Amino acid sequence: MKFLAFDSSTEQLSVAVGVGELVYFNQEMAGQNHSLRLMPMINQTLVEAGLDLQDMDGICFGSGPGSFTGLRIACGMAQGLALGMGLKVAPVSTLLALAELAGVQKVVAAIDARMGEIYLGAYERINGIWKVGLGPGVYAPQSVPALSGNGWVAIGNGFDHYPEVTEMYGPQLISIRAGEYPHAREVLLLGREQFMRNEQVDAADAAPVYIRNKVALKMSERSKR
């Protein structure tokens, strides 16, 4: 089967096309230009894979948490393309995509949530299936929930911005992969698994996972940062 996947939940924009076990992908640090760059990157990746949109069997997208604008762009693109081609959609957690990227069994994933907060979730792969240990949730760095046990790998740019989280977990972490972002490759792999489990959704029912309702600081709050 053939799938298109993309993620625009952070400043990194990525697109992947899966053809069986082959994965073609592109990425760039797009900053605030996701809306301008996403469709051209989709077209570029499809050309490299030798396919057209009409060849796809499903669409996967990073559903959040992450940038509110980026999540809306990805969800809107997934819905628009899927509705136009009569396809189903697989919304994939961006934190789970980070866990998949880590390539180990126990992962605590974190994305910078801005405004002095962090998106965080912990996952453990048991018998080949990811189980949620924590979250996903949005937390102040000094108030992240406790982890159970040891042997965790930390991954995500949240650990770059808030080193105090690393200090809190201390010896429970066996390694730290700061500076990583959710990527369409892992969104593709996880989304494909959702399709195989028949957990895909109608395009009209796809939605971002914001977690945090508040999207901006008041002027008085900014002055206190």
pLDDT in tens, 27-50: 999 999 999 999 999 999 999 999
pLDDT at 213 (0 to 100)? 67
- Is the CATH number 3.40.50.880 carried by domain 2-93+183-205? no
HSE-up of 98 (CA within 13 Å, CB side)? Answer: 35
pLDDT at 135 (0 to 100)? 84
pLDDT at 225 (0 to 100)? 33
Global confidence as pTM: 0.93
Task: For residues 118 and 139, give the distance between their C-alpha atoms in angstroms, rounded to a whole number.
Answer: 5
Give the SS3 label for residue 24: strand
Instruction: Looking at the structure, give the CATH architecture of the domain made up of residues 95-178.
Output: 2-Layer Sandwich (3.30)
pLDDT at 142 (0 to 100)? 93
> For the chain (length 225 residues), average pLDDT per consecutive 10?
98 97 97 96 98 98 97 98 97 98 98 96 96 95 96 97 95 96 98 97 97 51 35
Tokens for 162? 């808030």
Q: List, edge to edge, every strand of the sheet that includes 152-156.
A: 129-139, 117-126, 106-114, 152-156, 173-178
Q: Where are the alpha helices (DSSP H) in 86-183?
A: 94-102, 158-161, 163-169
**Contact assessment for residue 45 and residue 55, using Cβ atoms and an 8 Å cutoff:** no
pLDDT in tens, 86-96: 999 999 999 99
Tokens for 182? 């959710």
pLDDT in tens, 9-33: 999 999 999 999 999 999 999 999 9
Does the fold of domain 95-178 match that of domain 2-93+183-205? yes
pLDDT at 120 (0 to 100)? 98
What are the extents of the domains in the chain? 2-93+183-205, 95-178
